[in-house]
């Protein structure tokens, strides 16, 4: 090794020892006869001091070193003089008196500072990924990720799970996204699909008798990217045989609680994790992955609203549309102008989520005062009192009214709720609020295609008591799906699977597949179901997203070493890029440019 110790390791009791350290010049301060270098490696920072009077050669090398140079330093560990200790650094009690310094590699001036948390634009973060990854915050995210994954492996290994790798070159594995296709050179005109998840393969491992499988699996979904999505991402994928819904949920709840306690050194907001029915989550929070660090639940006032004199409510209620209220505590305590401006801003936000407007009402500061807001006049005194009772409103609160098609109401509630929580400072970044969402519908109606879409995927078993609804009223059937939400993100999802060919065959026509198409795509599954398939179920947890939540990051890219941009590109390595014509020929592919590329 080119070093005897790392830069986070030395303490006062090493004083007097001769050591060699190697790393990056984090900071250099030239004080004439003395040069101080903060030397950084993955484990920390150690101060080096070089004295011109006693070590002129080392001093002249130190003099030429610049930020991010890679150097090797030999010298003695010295207790820092009293008053010169740096209590911010674990190594801050000592320094190394550098007697021999070698520059192992020079560095150009980096495009952004590594030694400060300054803002870095997205493009530079990606183009110089290896420099961005050098930043201590990023190193700590990547190490956290390593710890989480290692913990998962150990935890599951102790409980009898076997890690099995499944192929990346495979066949379409529908999870509701577009596939990435890979042309097969050996089979002209044919393509592999990269797995959207190992769903079929893990089920086949259950047929194969493995009983407890897991994999840290890479999944590929060609969809539009957002802050919490990447085209390729990592799942903890898991499947168990001879289980019911509660068994899988208990296994994952145990794992997540242990990760929070033992890896993150924190405590979940609550254990056991609450279980919320999908319908209740949508009705109260407008989301199937609600952020429960705060409550801010919508209150349904449909019945009351229908009796008021406000024509929009009355008409909507008559047409079967709900009316809901979000109560923003003390947000009504603003002067007339400021209140109207706030209402306009909130209305603009609601409109971005599909609202046609946003009615509001502000309660006065004292009981004698008048309510403010355009719709107060449509409520009788008794109706106002009833409204305040139903919404538990207090003086100074702002009530926001949302009424539209049910799905639109959900979207607006979700959008306003997240915004209000920020504005009202209700989010404690230290809190991790996990909750299970259960009793999803088995299907959603796809109006465009006039068919049902599976709400999870086509292998999800309907709840046993709802099986008969597949024949009569599929929209009412609940699936055995369970999702785990944490702080507004879905961090895991799974279900008990269909293990019976006859039930599986009932799903296909409902989702618009003929039996022939289904056999072509999933014939291997149907056939496997005829060879002694155990009842089974499982789940997958997005590792990137989970680590993002644990690290308190808002963008998934901050916990992925080499992520893609919003356009799905790696601008460091320039991928995707055009292949050589010869490669295309071998693959029997001709590219039809929508517009021929202009030659420079
Ligand atoms: N394959 C599912 C997914 O990736 C998870 C599961 O059902 O196990 O979302």
Q: Ligand 1 centre and the CA of 534: distance in Å? A: 18
- Describe the crossing of helices 278-285 and 406-423 by its angle, rounded to 10 degrees: 60
* Distance between CA atoms of residues 457 and 61, nearest Å: 63
Q: Ligand 1 centre and the CA of 66: distance in Å? A: 49
Which residue reads 């033992």 in tokens? 262
Q: Ligand 1 centre and the CA of 567: distance in Å? A: 25
Q: Is the pLDDT of residue 490 over 60?
A: yes
Is the distance from CB of 395 to CB of 366 less than 8 angstroms? Answer: yes
pLDDT single digits (tens) 372-387: 998 999 999 999 999 9
Token pair belonging to 497 = 């699977």
> Is 206's C-beta closer than 6 angstroms to any atom of ligand 1?
no
* Distance between CA atoms of residues 596 and 264, nearest Å: 52
Q: Output the CA torsion 82→86→92→96 (10° steps).
A: -70
pLDDT of residue 363: 94
Closest to 14 in 3D by CA, of 57, 72, 78: 78
Q: Give the number of C-alpha atoms closer than 13 A to the C-alpha of residue 38, restricted to the C-beta side.
A: 15
pLDDT of residue 369: 83
> Is 195's C-beta closer than 6 angstroms to any atom of ligand 1?
no
> Is 539's C-beta closer than 6 angstroms to any atom of ligand 1?
yes
Which residue reads 């109706």 in tokens? 383
* Distance between CA atoms of residues 422 and 407, nearest Å: 23
pLDDT single digits (tens) 30-54: 998 999 999 999 999 999 999 999 9
> Is 197's C-beta closer than 6 angstroms to any atom of ligand 1?
yes
CA distances from 438 to 275, 411, 441 (A): 7, 19, 9
pLDDT single digits (tens) 129-155: 999 999 999 999 999 999 999 999 999
> Is 253's C-beta closer than 6 angstroms to any atom of ligand 1?
no
pLDDT of residue 600: 47
Q: Ligand 1 centre and the CA of 199: distance in Å? A: 6
Is the distance from CB of 350 to CB of 344 less than 8 angstroms? Answer: no
pLDDT single digits (tens) 390-442: 999 999 999 999 999 999 999 999 999 999 999 999 999 999 999 999 999 99
Q: How confident is the model at residue 596 (pLDDT cuts 50, 70, 90)?
A: low
pLDDT of residue 60: 97
Is the distance from CB of 454 to CB of 294 less than 8 angstroms? Answer: no
Q: Ligand 1 centre and the CA of 51: distance in Å? A: 61
* Distance between CA atoms of residues 218 and 392, nearest Å: 47
Closest to 580 in 3D by CA, of 572, 567, 589, 571: 589
What residues have CB less than 8 Å from 405, skipping those under 6 apart?
321
Q: Vertex 235, ends 233 and 241: CA angle to 5°? A: 155
* Distance between CA atoms of residues 254 and 274, nearest Å: 14
Which residue's alpha carbon is at the smallest distance from atom 1 of ligand 1? 199
* Distance between CA atoms of residues 412 and 414, nearest Å: 5
Ligand 1 atom with minimal separation from the 196 CA: 4
Which residue's alpha carbon is at the smallest distance from atom 3 of ligand 1? 540
Ligand 1 atom with minimal separation from the 460 CA: 7
Q: Ligand 1 centre and the CA of 551: distance in Å? A: 23
Ligand 1 atom with minimal separation from the 459 CA: 7
> Is 540's C-beta closer than 6 angstroms to any atom of ligand 1?
yes
Q: Give the number of C-alpha atoms closer than 13 A to the C-alpha of residue 182, restricted to the C-beta side.
A: 11
pLDDT single digits (tens) 176-207: 889 999 999 999 999 999 999 999 999 999 99
Q: Is the pLDDT of residue 582 over 50?
A: yes
Pocket test for ligand 1, best of 248, 482, 538, 546 (most atoms within 8 A of CB): 538
* Distance between CA atoms of residues 421 and 443, nearest Å: 31
Q: Ligand 1 centre and the CA of 472: distance in Å? A: 27
CA distances from 548 to 11, 276, 289, 486, 571 (A): 33, 23, 15, 11, 22
Ligand 1 atom with minimal separation from the 202 CA: 8
Q: How confident is the model at residue 6 (pLDDT cuts 50, 70, 90)?
A: very high
Q: How confident is the model at residue 225 (pLDDT cuts 50, 70, 90)?
A: confident
Pocket test for ligand 1, best of 234, 288, 456, 497 (most atoms within 8 A of CB): 456
Which residue's alpha carbon is at the smallest distance from atom 4 of ligand 1? 197
Q: Ligand 1 centre and the CA of 99: distance in Å? A: 58
Top-confidence residue, 18 or 368: 18
Q: Ligand 1 centre and the CA of 484: distance in Å? A: 12
Q: Is the pLDDT of residue 318 over 90?
A: yes
Q: What is the mean pLDDT of residues 342-360?
A: 97
Greatest Cα pair distance in the chain: 92
Q: Ligand 1 centre and the CA of 415: distance in Å? A: 26
pLDDT single digits (tens) 149-163: 999 999 999 999 999
Which residue's alpha carbon is at the smallest distance from atom 7 of ligand 1? 494
> Is 494's C-beta closer than 6 angstroms to any atom of ligand 1?
yes
The percentage of the chain sitting over the pLDDT mark of 90, rounded to a whole number, equals 91
> Is 252's C-beta closer than 6 angstroms to any atom of ligand 1?
no
């Amino acid at each position: 090794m080119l070093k005897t110790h790392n830069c986070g390791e030395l303490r006062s009791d090493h004083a007097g020892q001769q050591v060699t350290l190697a790393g990056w010049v984090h900071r250099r301060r030239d004080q004439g006869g003395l040069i101080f270098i903060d030397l950084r490696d993955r484990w920390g920072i150690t101060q080096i001091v070089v004295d011109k009077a006693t070590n002129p050669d080392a001093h002249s090398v130190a003099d030429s070193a610049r930020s991010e140079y890679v150097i090797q330093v030999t010298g003695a560990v010295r207790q820092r003089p009293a008053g010169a200790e740096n209590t911010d650094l674990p190594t801050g009690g000592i320094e190394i008196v550098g007697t021999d310094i070698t520059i192992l590699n020079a560095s150009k001036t980096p495009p952004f500072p590594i030694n400060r948390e300054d803002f870095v634009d997205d493009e530079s973060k990606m183009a110089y990924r290896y420099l961005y990854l050098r930043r201590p915050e990023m190193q700590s995210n990547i190490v956290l990720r390593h710890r989480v994954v290692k913990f998962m492996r150990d935890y599951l290994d102790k409980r009898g799970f076997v890690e099995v790798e499944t192929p990346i070159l495979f066949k379409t594995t529908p999870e509701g996204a577009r596939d990435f296709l890979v042309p097969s050179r050996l089979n002209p005109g044919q393509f592999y699909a990269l797995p959207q998840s190992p769903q079929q393969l893990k089920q086949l491992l259950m047929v194969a008798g493995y009983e407890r499988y897991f994999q840290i699996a890479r999944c590929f979904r060609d969809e539009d990217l957002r802050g919490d999505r990447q085209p390729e991402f990592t799942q903890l994928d898991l499947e168990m045989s001879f289980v019911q819904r509660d068994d899988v949920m208990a296994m994952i709840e145990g794992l997540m609680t242990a990760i929070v306690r033992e890896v993150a050194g924190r405590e979940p907001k609550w254990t056991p994790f609450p279980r919320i029915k999908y319908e209740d989550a949508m009705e109260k929070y407008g989301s199937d992955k609600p952020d429960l660090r705060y409550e801010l639940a919508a209150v349904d006032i449909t019945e009351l609203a229908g009796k008021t004199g406000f024509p929009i409510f009355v008409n909507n209620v008559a047409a079967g549309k709900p009316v809901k209220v979000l109560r923003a505590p003390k947000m009504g305590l603003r002067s007339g102008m400021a209140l109207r401006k706030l209402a306009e801003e909130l209305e603009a936000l609601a409109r971005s989520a599909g609202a046609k407007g946003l009615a509001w009402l502000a309660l006065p500061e004292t009981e004698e005062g008048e309510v403010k807001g355009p719709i107060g006049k449509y409520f009788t005194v008794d109706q106002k009192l009833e409204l305040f009772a139903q919404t538990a409103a207090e003086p100074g609160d702002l009530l926001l009214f949302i009424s539209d098609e049910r799905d639109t109401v959900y979207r607006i509630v979700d959008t306003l709720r997240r915004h209000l929580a920020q504005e009202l400072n209700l989010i404690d970044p230290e809190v991790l609020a996990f909750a299970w969402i259960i009793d999803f519908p088995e299907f959603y109606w796809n109006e465009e295609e006039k068919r049902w879409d599976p709400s999870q995927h086509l292998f999800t078993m309907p709840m046993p008591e709802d099986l008969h609804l597949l024949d009569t009223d599929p929209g009412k059937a609940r699936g055995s799906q369970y999702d785990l939400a944490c702080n507004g993100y879905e961090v895991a999802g799974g279900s008990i699977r269909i293990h019976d060919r006859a039930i599986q065959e009932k799903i296909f026509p409902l989702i618009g597949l003929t039996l022939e198409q289904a056999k072509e795509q999933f014939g291997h599954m149907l056939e496997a179901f005829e060879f002694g398939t155990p009842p089974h179920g499982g789940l997958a947890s997005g590792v990137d997203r989970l680590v993002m939540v644990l690290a308190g990051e808002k963008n998934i890219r901050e916990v992925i070493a080499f992520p893609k941009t919003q356009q799905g590109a790696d601008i460091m390595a320039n991928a995707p890029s055009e292949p050589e014509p010869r490669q295309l020929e071998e693959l029997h592919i001709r590219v039809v440019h929508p517009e021929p590329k202009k030659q420079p």
